Amino acid sequence: DDGYRLWLRYDPIADASLRTAYAGAFSEIVIPENARPPVTSARDELVTGLRGLLGVDLPVVTKATRDHALILGTPRDPWIASVISEADLRTASVEGYIVRRVAHEGGHRTLIVANREAGLLYGAFALLRHLQTHEPLDGLNLISAPKIQRRLLNHWDDLNRHVERGYAGFSLWEWFYLPEIRDPRYRDYARALASLGLNGTVLTNVNANAQILTAPYLAKVAALAQEFRPWGVRIYLTARFSAPIEIGGLPTADPLDPAVAAWWQAKVAEIYRAIPDFGGFLVKANSEGQPGPQDYGRTHADGANMLADAVQPFNGIVMWRAFVYSPDNNDDRVKQAVSEFGPLDGKFRQNVIVQIKNGPLDFMPREPFSPLFGAMPNTRLAAELQITQEYLGQSIDLAYLAPLWKEVLDTDTYARREPVESANGKGTTIASIVDGSAKLQHPSVIAGVANTGTDRNWTGHLLAQSNWYAFGRLAWDHQLSSEQIADEWTRQTFGHDATVVATINKMLLGSRETVVNYSMPLGLTHIMAEGHHYGPGPWVDKLGRADWTSVYYHRADEKGLGFDRTATGSNALAQYAPEWQKLWGDPATCPENLLLWFHHVSWDHPMKSGRPLWDELCLRYQQGVDEVRTLQRDWASLQGKIDAERFTHVQQRLARQKKEAVNWRDACLLYFQQFSKRPFPAGVEPAAHPLEHYQQILRNMPGHR
């Protein structure tokens, strides 16, 4: 099994009595007359899914003719309106669904009801998920609506099909062959998105290429839009700010120049002629060398608003990234987004969403939340999460990321955003800011940087499919737990053997913390190898900018370790609400998993375990290695219970992960030992090689594709 089918496998349900019971519950599929996509997609999915799972071939009709009909409809159908209450329809809202089994004339019917057609598609997938996870049909009553309106993947795909920070092959978009030749995979991709409730995708890299906005490319984009549309997936593109110069022949891209604004208006009109449901633009401006409004002495708001005005007549949006840190700013890099964007609060148009990475630095294995979420109470804010594991072992190491994302989304910013009642802003979680419940904000957006590519299994590491899955499920409902999402995914991907399910769930749930332990424990951050970002590089000290190096972040010296971000240091702490300042500001109360993020503490600093910092640090690295060995043992115990192809695929990756965990431990501890000048405590395995050996491995590593 090569994993291509993702979580949509629809293998026959092995438990014969359950299969028979399910099969007896469905006799025919009823869809509205003259149904069009996405309702026809829902129909096709149900036909395929029920055939696979239950071995039944259900006729599709437009009027119920017998008991046990499965009926898809909207309240425009009077019978549906008579059996589903208005309150339930309101809960289902614009894109949600009601999936319910009802008694009818002495028998039963199953209903998939939605206010709009897209909801029928999501409801069909919900029913199939219900069956694939072996949930009971008795009392079936699922009512669900997405909390966030635009649930998007962000592809960092270049036009030459290289994927920036992609570890699963090449870009899925075959620009050379499009628009005529369309890989069937486009459909499978869109279908996978729809199965999770994702409803949009940004096709291109934030480090943008203006060529995508030229007519030949737009024809290709339109072809992709056609493939995705039946699955309710809309297309967005990245806009290179200097496009008016590069492809428009203008001498400037100054956002306040009327000729520039007119160029964008005409370009946007052209895009909407080709792609009437085009979603809008994602922009990385004045960040890491990308052009932007500041090149002309204008602000981010000037730039974003100019584009927002161009897409506004078409209901388009602009997602403006807040990932900025300037080459001329020597201030602590993690403070710079707030200093640049904070003063612009309230200055953005209503169709601009400022898109913020979860942490203030850059998708590290652990960071505190970005203080910008609390610093712009009058601005629409989106969360950008990274599904691709740039800093968590890429497609080699196992790191199930739902716990990381939940940690962020559930965090209370204490931001004072209307209409939050309490004076101290309590309850203003990041999720509530993003979904708009902390302050009504439309449109609301959540974005995940995709981990997909042309690898047969889509995500490089088979188990990394769980991250695509988890992002989609959380984008729909951020209140789902990491455990529930893992369990759903495991059952749909690996079946229902109790040992298999329990083992894989356990492996997934602890895996992110394991990566933290062997790479950047106790609040350490950004000490990975330079360039490709895989493996340890705490010694990295000379790069184009100080805030790209590792020594900038860990600040190891004879006295101790960590970055002082309190008032005696960079005072990044001051960007957070007083509640957080109080907790994080004192090393005695600061949670140890962020200690070295906020404090420079001595090697002897007493930790909660009673051990000094140095010993604790060593033991954390050791723990990370031990945990990878446990992952290997857990997986080995499943031999024979999982098909050989998938078993071996994961087994090999875990073996490599073990090697890398050992490298991390040895490299970091030998490196930091130069400063601590202390021996490893009992329980820590001695390094097999001197420090130079580990530095050499990284130097000799072949460039990542």
Q: How many residues does the chain have?
A: 705
Query: Pick the catalytic residue: 157, 227, 390, 547?
Result: 390
CA distances from 5 to 9, 19, 51, 192, 416 (A): 5, 21, 16, 9, 45
Minimum CB distance to ligand BDP, residue 653 (Å)? 22
Decide: 204 and 284 in contact? Cβ < 8 Å.
no
Minimum CB distance to ligand BDP, residue 533 (Å)? 7
For the question of residue 288 being annotated catalytic, the response is yes
Nearer to ligand BDP, 425 or 535 (CB): 535
- Exposure string over 283-293, b if 16+ CB within 10 A, otherwise e: bbbbbeebbbb
Cα gap 536→533, rounded to integer Å: 8
Helix (H, G, I), strand (E, B) or coil at 336: helix
Nearer to ligand BDP, 7 or 363 (CB): 363
CB neighbours of 702 closer than 8 A, spacing ≥ 6?
none
Cα gap 394→534, rounded to integer Å: 7
Nearer to ligand BDP, 284 or 620 (CB): 284
Minimum CB distance to ligand BDP, residue 207 (Å)? 5
Decide: 117 and 75 in contact? Cβ < 8 Å.
no
Minimum CB distance to ligand BDP, residue 137 (Å)? 45
Helix (H, G, I), strand (E, B) or coil at 590: coil
Nearer to ligand BDP, 186 or 471 (CB): 471
Tell me the CA end-to-end span of the chain in Å, nearest whole number: 25
Decide: 298 and 260 in contact? Cβ < 8 Å.
no
Helix (H, G, I), strand (E, B) or coil at 465: helix
DSSP assignment, residue 528? B
Residue bearing tokens 């969360």: 383
Q: Which residues lie near ligand BDP (CB under 6 A)?
A: 164-165, 206-207, 284, 288, 323, 362-363, 390
Minimum CB distance to ligand BDP, residue 564 (Å)? 24
Asked if the peptide bond before residue 686 counts as cis, ω within 30 degrees of 0, the response is no
Nearer to ligand BDP, 52 or 292 (CB): 292
Amino acid at site 12: P
For the question of residue 362 being annotated catalytic, the response is yes
Decide: 624 and 514 in contact? Cβ < 8 Å.
yes
Helices (H), 108-249: 117-132, 185-196, 215-228, 243-246
Minimum CB distance to ligand BDP, residue 547 (Å)? 12
Query: Pick the catalytic residue: 11, 67, 288, 557?
Result: 288
Minimum CB distance to ligand BDP, residue 449 (Å)? 7
Nearer to ligand BDP, 206 or 522 (CB): 206
CB neighbours of 86 closer than 8 A, spacing ≥ 6?
none
Helices (H), 328-451: 336-341, 372-375, 402-409, 430-434
Helix (H, G, I), strand (E, B) or coil at 107: strand
Decide: 376 and 438 in contact? Cβ < 8 Å.
no
For the question of residue 615 being annotated catalytic, the response is no
Minimum CB distance to ligand BDP, residue 162 (Å)? 11
Annotated catalytic sites, by residue?
288, 362, 390
